[in-house]
Amino acid sequence: MNLAVVHSRARIGVDAPAVRVEVHLGGGLPAMSIVGLPEAAVREAKDRVRAAIQCAQFEFPARRITVNLAPADLPKDGARFDLAIALGILAASGQIPVEALDDWEFLGELALTGALRGCDGTLAAALAVAASGHRLIVAPDNGAEAALASGVEVRTARTLLEVCAALEGRVGLPQAAPQDCQRAPLPDLADVRGQTQSRRALEIAAAGAHHLLLIGPPGSGKTLLASRLAGILPEPSEAEALEVASIASASGHGLDLAQWRQRPFRAPHHTASAVALVGGGADPRPGEISLAHHGVLFLDELPEWSRHTLEVLREPLESGSVGISRAARHCSFPARFQLVAAMNPCPCGWAGDPSGRCLCSSDMIRRYRARISGPLMERIDLHVEVPRLAPTLLRTDAPAGESSADVQARVVAARTRQLVRGPLPNARLGQSQTNAFCRLAPRDSSLLERAVESLQLSARSLHRILRVARTIADLADSAAIETPHLTEAIGYRTLERQGERAAA
Protein backbone atom coordinates (compact mmCIF):
# COMPACT_ATOMS: atom_id res chain seq x y z
CA MET A 1 0.00 0.00 0.00
CA ASN A 2 1.53 3.29 -1.12
CA LEU A 3 -1.49 5.51 -0.46
CA ALA A 4 -3.47 6.33 2.68
CA VAL A 5 -6.27 8.79 3.45
CA VAL A 6 -6.79 10.24 6.93
CA HIS A 7 -9.63 12.56 8.02
CA SER A 8 -9.04 15.79 9.90
CA ARG A 9 -10.53 19.30 10.30
CA ALA A 10 -9.34 22.81 9.41
CA ARG A 11 -10.32 26.00 11.25
CA ILE A 12 -11.95 28.81 9.28
CA GLY A 13 -13.38 31.32 11.71
CA VAL A 14 -15.69 29.34 13.96
CA ASP A 15 -16.26 26.65 11.33
CA ALA A 16 -14.35 23.37 10.98
CA PRO A 17 -14.49 22.16 7.36
CA ALA A 18 -13.41 18.61 6.65
CA VAL A 19 -9.88 18.00 5.31
CA ARG A 20 -8.67 14.77 3.67
CA VAL A 21 -5.01 14.16 4.41
CA GLU A 22 -3.82 12.10 1.44
CA VAL A 23 -0.35 10.55 1.78
CA HIS A 24 1.45 8.92 -1.14
CA LEU A 25 4.81 7.11 -1.08
CA GLY A 26 6.56 7.15 -4.42
CA GLY A 27 9.95 6.40 -5.94
CA GLY A 28 12.85 8.79 -6.19
CA LEU A 29 15.17 10.48 -3.76
CA PRO A 30 13.90 10.60 -0.13
CA ALA A 31 11.95 13.85 0.36
CA MET A 32 8.70 15.05 1.84
CA SER A 33 6.45 17.77 0.46
CA ILE A 34 3.10 19.12 1.70
CA VAL A 35 0.66 20.65 -0.79
CA GLY A 36 -2.86 22.05 -0.53
CA LEU A 37 -2.37 25.71 0.55
CA PRO A 38 -0.39 24.97 3.72
CA GLU A 39 0.80 27.93 5.79
CA ALA A 40 4.17 28.03 7.56
CA ALA A 41 3.17 26.00 10.62
CA VAL A 42 1.72 23.28 8.37
CA ARG A 43 4.80 23.15 6.16
CA GLU A 44 6.97 22.74 9.25
CA ALA A 45 4.99 19.62 10.16
CA LYS A 46 7.37 17.44 8.16
CA ASP A 47 10.16 18.02 10.70
CA ARG A 48 7.90 17.45 13.72
CA VAL A 49 6.35 14.34 12.16
CA ARG A 50 9.71 12.81 11.24
CA ALA A 51 11.04 13.17 14.79
CA ALA A 52 7.77 11.95 16.38
CA ILE A 53 7.66 8.81 14.19
CA GLN A 54 11.26 7.93 14.97
CA CYS A 55 10.81 8.55 18.73
CA ALA A 56 7.79 6.21 18.67
CA GLN A 57 10.13 3.46 17.36
CA PHE A 58 8.56 3.36 13.90
CA GLU A 59 10.49 3.57 10.66
CA PHE A 60 10.31 6.81 8.72
CA PRO A 61 10.11 5.70 5.05
CA ALA A 62 13.12 6.55 2.87
CA ARG A 63 10.78 7.33 -0.02
CA ARG A 64 9.43 10.39 -1.77
CA ILE A 65 6.45 11.36 0.42
CA THR A 66 3.73 13.63 -0.92
CA VAL A 67 1.07 14.90 1.50
CA ASN A 68 -1.99 16.53 -0.08
CA LEU A 69 -4.42 18.45 2.14
CA ALA A 70 -7.71 18.43 0.26
CA PRO A 71 -9.61 20.48 -0.73
CA ALA A 72 -6.60 22.22 -2.22
CA ASP A 73 -8.21 25.69 -2.35
CA LEU A 74 -8.92 25.80 1.42
CA PRO A 75 -6.18 27.56 3.43
CA LYS A 76 -4.65 25.34 6.14
CA ASP A 77 -2.99 26.78 9.22
CA GLY A 78 -1.65 25.64 12.56
CA ALA A 79 -0.21 22.32 13.67
CA ARG A 80 -3.56 20.54 13.97
CA PHE A 81 -2.75 18.20 11.04
CA ASP A 82 0.45 16.73 12.57
CA LEU A 83 -1.22 13.61 13.95
CA ALA A 84 -3.17 12.92 10.76
CA ILE A 85 -0.04 13.33 8.60
CA ALA A 86 1.98 10.96 10.82
CA LEU A 87 -0.75 8.32 10.75
CA GLY A 88 -1.05 8.66 6.98
CA ILE A 89 2.69 8.02 6.55
CA LEU A 90 2.57 4.98 8.84
CA ALA A 91 -0.51 3.58 7.09
CA ALA A 92 0.89 4.16 3.59
CA SER A 93 4.10 2.38 4.56
CA GLY A 94 2.16 -0.58 6.01
CA GLN A 95 3.18 -0.09 9.62
CA ILE A 96 -0.44 0.33 10.84
CA PRO A 97 -3.64 -1.02 9.18
CA VAL A 98 -5.01 1.54 6.73
CA GLU A 99 -8.61 0.30 7.10
CA ALA A 100 -8.57 1.27 10.79
CA LEU A 101 -8.49 4.96 9.82
CA ASP A 102 -11.85 5.03 8.04
CA ASP A 103 -14.15 5.74 10.99
CA TRP A 104 -11.92 8.20 12.83
CA GLU A 105 -10.92 11.85 12.57
CA PHE A 106 -7.70 13.11 14.13
CA LEU A 107 -6.73 16.48 15.54
CA GLY A 108 -3.54 17.40 17.36
CA GLU A 109 -0.01 18.75 17.26
CA LEU A 110 2.94 16.40 17.70
CA ALA A 111 5.93 17.17 19.90
CA LEU A 112 9.31 15.90 18.75
CA THR A 113 8.99 13.17 21.39
CA GLY A 114 5.73 11.93 19.89
CA ALA A 115 3.58 13.48 22.63
CA LEU A 116 0.23 14.84 21.52
CA ARG A 117 -0.57 18.51 22.17
CA GLY A 118 -3.86 20.38 21.97
CA CYS A 119 -4.94 22.94 19.40
CA ASP A 120 -7.56 25.66 19.23
CA GLY A 121 -11.00 25.33 17.67
CA THR A 122 -11.47 21.78 18.96
CA LEU A 123 -15.09 22.28 20.02
CA ALA A 124 -16.14 23.45 16.56
CA ALA A 125 -14.34 20.43 15.10
CA ALA A 126 -16.11 18.06 17.50
CA LEU A 127 -19.51 19.51 16.55
CA ALA A 128 -18.68 19.02 12.86
CA VAL A 129 -17.47 15.46 13.48
CA ALA A 130 -20.75 14.67 15.24
CA ALA A 131 -22.63 15.67 12.10
CA SER A 132 -20.39 13.47 9.93
CA GLY A 133 -20.92 10.31 12.00
CA HIS A 134 -17.20 9.74 12.59
CA ARG A 135 -15.32 9.35 15.86
CA LEU A 136 -12.63 11.74 17.06
CA ILE A 137 -9.21 11.41 18.70
CA VAL A 138 -7.69 14.50 20.35
CA ALA A 139 -5.02 15.38 22.88
CA PRO A 140 -5.90 15.18 26.61
CA ASP A 141 -5.74 18.99 26.77
CA ASN A 142 -8.72 19.17 24.41
CA GLY A 143 -10.70 16.23 25.77
CA ALA A 144 -13.03 18.09 28.14
CA GLU A 145 -13.70 20.76 25.52
CA ALA A 146 -14.50 18.28 22.75
CA ALA A 147 -16.76 16.29 25.10
CA LEU A 148 -19.13 19.28 25.29
CA ALA A 149 -20.38 18.27 21.84
CA SER A 150 -23.13 15.70 22.08
CA GLY A 151 -23.56 12.81 19.66
CA VAL A 152 -19.88 12.15 19.03
CA GLU A 153 -17.45 9.63 20.50
CA VAL A 154 -14.30 11.45 21.61
CA ARG A 155 -11.17 9.59 22.71
CA THR A 156 -7.96 11.08 24.08
CA ALA A 157 -4.40 9.90 23.54
CA ARG A 158 -1.18 11.11 25.11
CA THR A 159 1.22 10.00 22.36
CA LEU A 160 1.41 8.90 18.76
CA LEU A 161 2.32 5.42 19.97
CA GLU A 162 -0.93 5.18 21.97
CA VAL A 163 -2.97 6.14 18.90
CA CYS A 164 -1.24 3.49 16.78
CA ALA A 165 -1.75 0.82 19.45
CA ALA A 166 -5.45 1.68 19.63
CA LEU A 167 -5.86 1.51 15.86
CA GLU A 168 -4.23 -1.93 15.91
CA GLY A 169 -6.69 -3.03 18.62
CA ARG A 170 -4.01 -3.64 21.26
CA VAL A 171 -5.18 -0.99 23.76
CA GLY A 172 -8.25 1.12 24.38
CA LEU A 173 -8.17 4.90 24.58
CA PRO A 174 -10.01 6.68 27.43
CA GLN A 175 -13.22 8.42 26.48
CA ALA A 176 -13.27 12.17 26.99
CA ALA A 177 -15.71 13.53 29.55
CA PRO A 178 -16.83 17.10 30.30
CA GLN A 179 -14.92 18.73 33.12
CA ASP A 180 -16.86 18.93 36.37
CA CYS A 181 -16.06 22.42 37.61
CA GLN A 182 -17.72 24.91 39.91
CA ARG A 183 -19.05 27.92 38.07
CA ALA A 184 -17.87 31.24 39.45
CA PRO A 185 -20.80 33.29 40.80
CA LEU A 186 -21.74 36.39 38.83
CA PRO A 187 -21.82 39.82 40.53
CA ASP A 188 -25.09 40.38 42.38
CA LEU A 189 -27.39 43.34 41.77
CA ALA A 190 -27.93 43.52 45.53
CA ASP A 191 -24.57 45.33 45.72
CA VAL A 192 -26.09 48.37 43.99
CA ARG A 193 -27.52 50.84 46.52
CA GLY A 194 -30.21 53.28 45.48
CA GLN A 195 -30.30 54.10 41.75
CA THR A 196 -33.94 53.07 41.41
CA GLN A 197 -34.34 54.38 37.88
CA SER A 198 -31.07 52.84 36.67
CA ARG A 199 -31.98 49.46 38.16
CA ARG A 200 -35.36 49.68 36.44
CA ALA A 201 -33.70 50.42 33.10
CA LEU A 202 -31.30 47.52 33.62
CA GLU A 203 -34.25 45.18 34.18
CA ILE A 204 -36.01 46.44 31.04
CA ALA A 205 -32.82 46.01 29.03
CA ALA A 206 -32.46 42.42 30.24
CA ALA A 207 -36.11 41.57 29.62
CA GLY A 208 -36.17 42.76 26.02
CA ALA A 209 -32.47 42.43 25.02
CA HIS A 210 -32.27 46.21 24.57
CA HIS A 211 -29.05 48.22 24.32
CA LEU A 212 -28.40 50.62 27.19
CA LEU A 213 -26.48 53.87 27.73
CA LEU A 214 -25.66 55.02 31.27
CA ILE A 215 -24.77 58.69 31.75
CA GLY A 216 -23.57 60.07 35.05
CA PRO A 217 -20.71 61.65 36.98
CA PRO A 218 -17.62 59.69 38.04
CA GLY A 219 -18.26 57.21 40.84
CA SER A 220 -22.04 57.15 40.44
CA GLY A 221 -22.10 53.38 39.83
CA LYS A 222 -22.27 53.05 36.03
CA THR A 223 -19.68 50.26 35.84
CA LEU A 224 -21.22 48.55 38.86
CA LEU A 225 -24.62 48.49 37.16
CA ALA A 226 -23.25 47.29 33.82
CA SER A 227 -21.37 44.39 35.40
CA ARG A 228 -24.64 43.11 36.93
CA LEU A 229 -26.55 42.79 33.65
CA ALA A 230 -25.20 39.34 32.76
CA GLY A 231 -26.43 38.00 36.11
CA ILE A 232 -30.08 38.92 35.47
CA LEU A 233 -30.26 37.69 31.86
CA PRO A 234 -32.02 34.35 31.24
CA GLU A 235 -29.79 31.28 31.33
CA PRO A 236 -28.43 30.47 27.85
CA SER A 237 -29.80 27.46 26.04
CA GLU A 238 -27.58 24.50 25.17
CA ALA A 239 -27.24 25.75 21.58
CA GLU A 240 -26.35 29.26 22.73
CA ALA A 241 -23.78 27.93 25.21
CA LEU A 242 -22.13 25.85 22.47
CA GLU A 243 -21.95 28.87 20.17
CA VAL A 244 -20.31 30.96 22.90
CA ALA A 245 -17.85 28.19 23.73
CA SER A 246 -16.98 27.59 20.06
CA ILE A 247 -16.11 31.26 19.58
CA ALA A 248 -13.93 31.27 22.71
CA SER A 249 -12.20 28.10 21.52
CA ALA A 250 -11.48 29.57 18.08
CA SER A 251 -10.27 32.90 19.45
CA GLY A 252 -6.83 31.63 20.39
CA HIS A 253 -7.30 32.67 24.01
CA GLY A 254 -8.64 29.26 25.05
CA LEU A 255 -11.95 28.10 26.48
CA ASP A 256 -12.47 28.57 30.21
CA LEU A 257 -14.74 25.66 31.15
CA ALA A 258 -15.53 27.34 34.48
CA GLN A 259 -17.64 29.79 32.47
CA TRP A 260 -19.63 27.10 30.65
CA ARG A 261 -23.34 28.01 30.46
CA GLN A 262 -22.65 31.59 31.58
CA ARG A 263 -23.38 34.70 29.56
CA PRO A 264 -20.08 36.35 28.57
CA PHE A 265 -19.28 39.86 29.81
CA ARG A 266 -16.61 41.68 27.79
CA ALA A 267 -15.24 45.09 28.76
CA PRO A 268 -12.46 46.16 26.36
CA HIS A 269 -10.43 49.30 27.08
CA HIS A 270 -11.30 52.43 25.13
CA THR A 271 -7.90 52.35 23.38
CA ALA A 272 -8.83 49.09 21.60
CA SER A 273 -8.62 49.23 17.82
CA ALA A 274 -11.42 48.52 15.37
CA VAL A 275 -9.82 45.16 14.53
CA ALA A 276 -9.67 44.21 18.21
CA LEU A 277 -13.34 45.12 18.54
CA VAL A 278 -14.82 43.43 15.46
CA GLY A 279 -12.13 40.85 14.69
CA GLY A 280 -9.73 40.38 11.80
CA GLY A 281 -6.06 39.82 11.13
CA ALA A 282 -4.28 37.90 8.38
CA ASP A 283 -5.70 34.75 9.96
CA PRO A 284 -9.14 36.15 10.95
CA ARG A 285 -9.97 35.76 14.61
CA PRO A 286 -13.13 36.83 16.44
CA GLY A 287 -13.08 40.24 18.12
CA GLU A 288 -14.68 41.52 21.30
CA ILE A 289 -18.15 41.79 19.79
CA SER A 290 -18.07 38.09 18.86
CA LEU A 291 -16.59 37.07 22.21
CA ALA A 292 -19.62 38.86 23.72
CA HIS A 293 -22.04 36.81 21.57
CA HIS A 294 -25.22 36.00 23.56
CA GLY A 295 -23.80 38.16 26.35
CA VAL A 296 -22.87 41.72 27.25
CA LEU A 297 -20.37 44.11 25.64
CA PHE A 298 -19.55 46.99 27.99
CA LEU A 299 -17.93 50.11 26.53
CA ASP A 300 -16.88 52.49 29.30
CA GLU A 301 -15.96 56.13 28.63
CA LEU A 302 -17.83 56.00 25.32
CA PRO A 303 -16.77 59.46 24.00
CA GLU A 304 -13.10 58.53 24.55
CA TRP A 305 -13.33 55.75 21.98
CA SER A 306 -12.11 56.42 18.47
CA ARG A 307 -15.05 57.50 16.33
CA HIS A 308 -13.96 55.13 13.56
CA THR A 309 -13.92 52.25 16.04
CA LEU A 310 -17.42 53.04 17.28
CA GLU A 311 -18.83 53.36 13.79
CA VAL A 312 -17.92 49.76 12.93
CA LEU A 313 -20.46 48.69 15.55
CA ARG A 314 -23.42 50.04 13.63
CA GLU A 315 -23.87 47.11 11.23
CA PRO A 316 -23.29 44.32 13.81
CA LEU A 317 -25.81 45.98 16.14
CA GLU A 318 -28.45 45.50 13.46
CA SER A 319 -27.39 42.23 11.81
CA GLY A 320 -25.97 40.25 14.74
CA SER A 321 -22.93 39.14 12.74
CA VAL A 322 -19.73 40.54 11.26
CA GLY A 323 -17.97 39.53 8.04
CA ILE A 324 -14.17 39.65 7.76
CA SER A 325 -12.85 39.61 4.19
CA ARG A 326 -9.23 38.98 3.30
CA ALA A 327 -7.51 38.22 0.00
CA ALA A 328 -7.38 34.47 0.67
CA ARG A 329 -10.56 33.92 2.67
CA HIS A 330 -13.79 35.30 4.08
CA CYS A 331 -15.00 34.57 7.60
CA SER A 332 -18.29 35.40 9.25
CA PHE A 333 -18.47 35.58 13.03
CA PRO A 334 -21.70 35.74 15.05
CA ALA A 335 -22.03 38.93 17.12
CA ARG A 336 -25.48 38.98 18.72
CA PHE A 337 -24.36 40.94 21.78
CA GLN A 338 -26.14 43.34 24.11
CA LEU A 339 -24.40 46.71 24.26
CA VAL A 340 -24.08 48.61 27.53
CA ALA A 341 -22.20 51.91 27.26
CA ALA A 342 -21.27 54.46 29.90
CA MET A 343 -20.19 58.08 29.65
CA ASN A 344 -19.82 61.25 31.65
CA PRO A 345 -22.22 64.12 30.88
CA CYS A 346 -19.35 66.50 30.06
CA PRO A 347 -15.52 66.56 29.88
CA CYS A 348 -15.14 67.17 33.61
CA GLY A 349 -17.97 64.76 34.43
CA TRP A 350 -20.12 67.00 36.62
CA ALA A 351 -22.61 68.71 34.30
CA GLY A 352 -26.03 68.81 35.93
CA ASP A 353 -24.73 67.80 39.36
CA PRO A 354 -26.40 69.70 42.25
CA SER A 355 -22.96 70.63 43.61
CA GLY A 356 -22.48 73.04 40.69
CA ARG A 357 -18.83 72.10 40.33
CA CYS A 358 -18.97 71.81 36.51
CA LEU A 359 -16.93 74.53 34.78
CA CYS A 360 -17.42 73.29 31.20
CA SER A 361 -18.85 75.72 28.68
CA SER A 362 -21.82 74.81 26.50
CA ASP A 363 -19.53 74.56 23.47
CA MET A 364 -17.20 72.17 25.32
CA ILE A 365 -20.14 69.99 26.33
CA ARG A 366 -21.56 70.02 22.79
CA ARG A 367 -18.23 68.98 21.26
CA TYR A 368 -17.82 66.26 23.87
CA ARG A 369 -21.22 64.75 23.16
CA ALA A 370 -20.76 65.10 19.40
CA ARG A 371 -17.97 62.49 19.55
CA ILE A 372 -20.78 59.92 19.43
CA SER A 373 -22.60 59.93 16.11
CA GLY A 374 -26.35 60.27 15.88
CA PRO A 375 -26.82 56.97 13.98
CA LEU A 376 -25.01 55.06 16.72
CA MET A 377 -26.99 56.82 19.46
CA GLU A 378 -30.23 55.93 17.67
CA ARG A 379 -29.37 52.24 17.93
CA ILE A 380 -29.21 52.39 21.73
CA ASP A 381 -32.73 51.87 23.06
CA LEU A 382 -32.41 53.17 26.63
CA HIS A 383 -30.61 56.36 27.70
CA VAL A 384 -30.49 56.61 31.48
CA GLU A 385 -29.09 59.20 33.87
CA VAL A 386 -27.17 57.77 36.82
CA PRO A 387 -27.03 60.52 39.50
CA ARG A 388 -24.46 60.79 42.26
CA LEU A 389 -25.55 58.83 45.34
CA ALA A 390 -26.42 60.50 48.64
CA PRO A 391 -23.83 59.83 51.36
CA THR A 392 -26.40 57.99 53.50
CA LEU A 393 -26.68 55.28 50.82
CA LEU A 394 -22.94 54.67 50.89
CA ARG A 395 -22.85 53.63 54.53
CA THR A 396 -21.90 50.01 55.16
CA ASP A 397 -25.11 49.43 57.13
CA ALA A 398 -27.34 50.81 54.36
CA PRO A 399 -29.96 48.30 53.18
CA ALA A 400 -28.96 46.15 50.20
CA GLY A 401 -30.87 46.35 46.95
CA GLU A 402 -32.99 43.63 45.37
CA SER A 403 -30.96 40.54 44.45
CA SER A 404 -30.15 39.41 40.92
CA ALA A 405 -32.13 36.20 41.45
CA ASP A 406 -35.35 38.12 42.18
CA VAL A 407 -34.91 40.43 39.19
CA GLN A 408 -33.96 37.52 36.93
CA ALA A 409 -37.22 35.76 37.78
CA ARG A 410 -39.21 38.72 36.42
CA VAL A 411 -36.93 38.97 33.39
CA VAL A 412 -37.42 35.28 32.57
CA ALA A 413 -41.20 35.64 32.89
CA ALA A 414 -41.19 38.62 30.51
CA ARG A 415 -38.96 36.78 28.01
CA THR A 416 -41.30 33.79 28.14
CA ARG A 417 -44.23 36.04 27.17
CA GLN A 418 -42.22 37.34 24.22
CA LEU A 419 -41.24 33.88 23.02
CA VAL A 420 -44.90 32.81 23.08
CA ARG A 421 -45.58 35.52 20.48
CA GLY A 422 -42.54 34.67 18.35
CA PRO A 423 -38.96 33.39 18.39
CA LEU A 424 -37.28 36.78 18.98
CA PRO A 425 -36.97 39.11 21.98
CA ASN A 426 -38.60 42.50 21.60
CA ALA A 427 -35.42 44.40 20.69
CA ARG A 428 -34.98 42.24 17.57
CA LEU A 429 -38.52 42.42 16.21
CA GLY A 430 -38.79 43.22 12.52
CA GLN A 431 -41.03 45.87 10.99
CA SER A 432 -44.04 43.60 10.45
CA GLN A 433 -43.68 42.07 13.92
CA THR A 434 -43.44 45.51 15.53
CA ASN A 435 -46.63 46.55 13.75
CA ALA A 436 -48.39 43.38 14.92
CA PHE A 437 -47.21 43.21 18.53
CA CYS A 438 -46.82 46.91 19.44
CA ARG A 439 -50.19 48.37 18.53
CA LEU A 440 -51.32 51.50 20.38
CA ALA A 441 -54.68 52.96 21.25
CA PRO A 442 -55.58 56.10 19.21
CA ARG A 443 -54.85 58.35 22.19
CA ASP A 444 -51.41 56.79 22.68
CA SER A 445 -50.64 57.03 18.96
CA SER A 446 -51.23 60.78 19.17
CA LEU A 447 -48.98 60.95 22.23
CA LEU A 448 -46.18 59.18 20.38
CA GLU A 449 -46.57 61.44 17.34
CA ARG A 450 -46.24 64.54 19.52
CA ALA A 451 -43.13 63.08 21.18
CA VAL A 452 -41.54 62.28 17.82
CA GLU A 453 -42.20 65.82 16.61
CA SER A 454 -41.03 67.47 19.83
CA LEU A 455 -37.81 65.44 20.16
CA GLN A 456 -37.23 65.29 16.39
CA LEU A 457 -36.87 61.51 16.47
CA SER A 458 -36.19 59.34 13.44
CA ALA A 459 -38.30 56.40 12.28
CA ARG A 460 -35.73 54.05 13.82
CA SER A 461 -36.07 55.75 17.21
CA LEU A 462 -39.88 55.59 16.95
CA HIS A 463 -39.83 51.85 16.38
CA ARG A 464 -37.38 51.36 19.25
CA ILE A 465 -39.72 53.27 21.55
CA LEU A 466 -42.52 50.89 20.59
CA ARG A 467 -40.36 47.83 21.30
CA VAL A 468 -39.26 49.18 24.68
CA ALA A 469 -42.89 49.93 25.53
CA ARG A 470 -43.76 46.34 24.59
CA THR A 471 -41.07 45.08 26.98
CA ILE A 472 -42.37 47.30 29.80
CA ALA A 473 -45.85 45.91 29.18
CA ASP A 474 -44.47 42.35 29.29
CA LEU A 475 -42.84 43.05 32.66
CA ALA A 476 -46.23 44.26 33.88
CA ASP A 477 -47.92 41.14 32.41
CA SER A 478 -50.09 43.36 30.24
CA ALA A 479 -51.47 42.09 26.95
CA ALA A 480 -51.62 45.63 25.51
CA ILE A 481 -49.29 48.61 25.64
CA GLU A 482 -50.90 51.15 27.92
CA THR A 483 -50.22 54.86 28.39
CA PRO A 484 -47.85 54.47 31.40
CA HIS A 485 -45.78 51.92 29.44
CA LEU A 486 -45.47 54.25 26.46
CA THR A 487 -44.62 57.35 28.48
CA GLU A 488 -41.90 55.46 30.34
CA ALA A 489 -40.45 54.24 27.04
CA ILE A 490 -40.45 57.78 25.63
CA GLY A 491 -38.64 58.96 28.74
CA TYR A 492 -35.70 56.74 27.87
CA ARG A 493 -35.18 58.63 24.54
CA THR A 494 -35.09 62.18 25.90
CA LEU A 495 -31.34 62.47 25.27
CA GLU A 496 -32.10 62.94 21.57
CA ARG A 497 -32.98 66.62 21.68
CA GLN A 498 -33.04 68.91 18.66
CA GLY A 499 -29.71 68.11 17.13
CA GLU A 500 -27.88 67.09 20.31
CA ARG A 501 -26.52 63.57 20.31
CA ALA A 502 -26.60 63.12 24.06
CA ALA A 503 -27.67 65.06 27.07
CA ALA A 504 -26.84 65.10 30.72
- The CATH number of the structural domain formed by 3-167 is 3.30.230.10
Q: Where are the alpha helices (DSSP H) in 253-403?
A: 274-278, 288-291, 307-311, 314-319, 362-369, 374-378
Residue 179 pLDDT = 80
What's the average model confidence in pLDDT over 69-87? 94
Tens of pLDDT, residue by residue over 283-333, are 788 999 999 999 999 999 999 999 999 999 999 999 999 988 776 677 889
Q: What is the mean pLDDT of the chain?
A: 91
Q: Where are the alpha helices (DSSP H) in 312-402?
A: 314-319, 362-369, 374-378
Question: Dihedral of CA 131/132/133/137: which sign?
Answer: negative
- State if pTM tops 0.85: yes
Share of the chain above pLDDT 70, in %: 96
List the domain boundaries for the chain: 3-167, 189-425
- The 8-class DSSP code of residue 397 comes to T
Confidence of residue 496 (pLDDT cuts 50, 70, 90): low
Distance CA 91, CA 103 (A): 14
Topology of domain 189-425 in CATH is Rossmann fold (3.40.50)
Distance CA 141, CA 158 (A): 9
For residue 136, list its beta bridge partners: 105, 154
Distance CA 454, CA 245 (A): 46
For the packed helices 483-491 and 459-475, what is the interaxial angle rounded to 10 degrees?
Answer: 130
CB atoms < 10 A from the CB of 53, how many?
Answer: 25
Residue 312 pLDDT = 93
What's the average model confidence in pLDDT over 404-428? 95
Q: Exposed (0-12), middle (13-18) or buried (19+): which is 438, by Cβ within 10 Å? A: buried
393 or 305, which is more confident?
Answer: 305
